[in-house]
Every structure is written in C-alpha cells, then in structure tokens.
Amino acid sequence: MEDRFAPNALMPDPLQSLAFRMLQQSACADQHGDAAPKLSRRAFLGLSALLTSCATQPESVLIGQDPITSRPDTRGPIPRNPTMRLKSNFSLANQDITYRRALVSGNLIAMTFDDGPQPENTPRLLDILRERNIKATFYVIGKCVNAYPDVVRRTVEEGHEIGNHSQTHRLLSSLGDSALHWEMQSCRDAVLNASGYHMRTMRPPYGGLNQRQRELVYQTYGYPTILWSVDPLDWQNRIPSVISSRIVSHTHPGAIVLAHDLHATTVSAMPSTLDQLLYRGYKFVTVSQLLALHSEHAKEQAQGLTANP
C-alpha cells in the first residue's frame, strides 16, 4: 500500500509490526491506568509468542541492547541549524490533503517523532534538538499527553510543532465515524488543556486512514494527513547506528522523516543523525512550515502555468 511507503524496502511484517506496537501501547496504558483498551493476559502472551517467532529474521528486534553513544567528543563543535523564520500558517485550498513529502526549493526537511510524550526520552531528545537549534514535529498520543502534560508544555515552549496522533493509538481505519471523532477530539483537548496549543496536522497510527476519513478529518478539524517519505523502522531495529544510517542515506529535499521518541535507542541515534544531516546541508523546519512552503510553491507554479500557457 502506498500509505506504507518505505523507500529503503525494509518493509516490516504487518502482523509483527502491529503486535509489537500493541505491546508498547498496552504498556503505556497499564502504566497510566487510563481508559485506553488493555490487552488480556492471553492476548499479551500470544503477541509475545508472535514476536519471538519473528526474532530470527534479519531485521530482528534487539530489546535491551545498550544504546550506543553516537557522537564522539573528537568531532569539534556541535553544528547548528540556522534559525528558520518561516510562517506556519498554510492554506491548502484546492490542494492535496495528504502529504508524504513536500515539493520545495532548497534542502528543507522535517523531522517527526511519534508516540510520545515519554517522560525520559522526550526531554532527552528536546535537549539534543535545542543544542542544534532544530525545531521538530511531535505526533503525540492523547493519553500520554494527559500523563505527562509538563513534557508537552516544554515541547511547545521550545518552539516545536505538536500534531494529533489520536487518543489511544488505535487503527483508525477500523473505526466508525463517532469513534474516529472521539480519538481526534480527545487528543486535541488533551494538548489544548496541557499547553493551550492548537494542532494543525494529524498523523494516523500505522498510517491507517482511508480517503473518506481523511476528508472528514480535514473538513472537521482542518488537519491534513501527514505520512512520511523516510522510515528507518526504528520500532523494529534498536541499534542507533543502523537507525542513523538509514535516515541519513534516504533523506532527500522535502523529506518528512518518521521516528519515535518512544524508544531510547532512537533518541540515542539522533545526535549523529542530526549532525550528519546538518553537515550535508539540510535545514530543519516543522511540518507546518514545510506545508506552507509547499503550498506557496504549488500556487506559484499554477500561476506560472496560467501566465505562460
């Protein structure tokens, strides 16, 4: 499916992916004791067995491996992203409402981090981003926002974008409209209550949202659906150097890079990843800034076509 586009052809087994992610979300729900659906013991054991059966594949999950410190001290000063004074207000009239990448001039890219906030990893990531003057976009889960509102407040205060990643991280394409609205509204309200922030975009968990739902979400909340063009499969492989090399080798101008601040190993991969991208001349913007530039670019092209038929 094009919604699952992964340019490095490292496509996960969908069942393995879903099982692994359900285990993660279950742990989050159990920890916070909220109203999110929980796995039964039987389902948990079944999913664990499924993951174990997949563990002999080449891209197996290496749970418990020590994070590798990814930036040696001998490389000189930390590179910094230029301050990007770009507008975040985009208008998508007569344009697409689904984005995997943007068409822009210049080496602009957006880093996105899903499934937080997480109480240790997200603050560590915020430190890494601040050192480099990089603004990123965080697709947060509402129930985790309710559990860690202070982390969301800090994220907003430091100039990052927040996007809607649903309340409980369910597969939205399997839901009816009322449940879909509840997922969107609950996450929207959680972020608003925590930080006063109004989100402008959404990313469906697992990339799962059909076209009719995308139009419904856009008409109701104004959220375009944001997917990705670079996927390091960081939920599956827990070696920071592998995550880093996958991102660096596949990133392109206008890229929307998918990563997860849920995972300590992903955060450990970021210093090296971000530094290499900066050394290659990439500049980091938020998703809304990227969309605003894309939208202007598309309008200019349309006007050019009208002026020079």
Q: How far is the CB of 129 from Ni ion (least distance, A)?
A: 19
How far CA 127 is from CA of 45, 135, 185, 248, 251, in Å, comes to: 37, 11, 30, 21, 23
Q: How far is the CB of 175 from Ni ion (least distance, A)?
A: 15
Q: Does 161 bind Ni ion (CB under 5 A)?
A: no
Q: How far is the CB of 204 from Ni ion (least distance, A)?
A: 9
Q: Which among 160, 260, 263, 294 is annotated as catalytic?
A: 260
Rg (CA), the chain: 19
Active site residue 260: yes
Distance CA 21, CA 57 (A): 18
Dihedral sign of CA atoms 213, 218, 221, 226 in order = positive
Active site residue 165: no
Q: How far is the CB of 258 from Ni ion (least distance, A)?
A: 9
Q: How far is the CB of 7 from Ni ion (least distance, A)?
A: 19
**Binding to Ni ion (CB under 5 A): which residues in 106-125?**
114-115
Q: Both tokens of residue 188?
A: 């929207």
Q: Which among 114, 115, 231, 261 is annotated as catalytic?
A: 114
Specify the residue, 226 or 255, whose C-beta has the smaller distance to Ni ion.
Answer: 226
Q: Residue count at the site for Ni ion (CB under 5 A)?
A: 3
Q: How far is the CB of 205 from Ni ion (least distance, A)?
A: 5
**Binding to Ni ion (CB under 5 A): which residues in 198-217?**
205
3-state SS of the chain is: CHHHCCCCCCCCCHHHHHHHHHHHHHHHHHHHCCCCCCCCHHHHHHHHHHHHHHCCCCCCCCCCCCCCCCCCHHHCCCCCCCCCCCCCCCCCCCCCCEECECCCCCCEEEEEEECCCCCCHHHHHHHHHHHCCCCCEEEECHHHHHHCHHHHHHHHHCCCEEEECCCCCCCHHHCCHHHHHHHHHHHHHHHHHHHCCCCCCECCHHHCCCHHHHHHHHHHHCCCEECCCECCCCCCCCCHHHHHHHHHHHCCCCEEEEEECCCHHHHHHHHHHHHHHHHCCCEECCHHHHHHHHHHHHHHHHHHHHHCC
Specify the residue, 47 or 293, whose C-beta has the smaller distance to Ni ion.
Answer: 47
Active site residues: 114, 260
Residues at the site binding Ni ion, with contacts judged by CB under 5 A: 114-115, 205
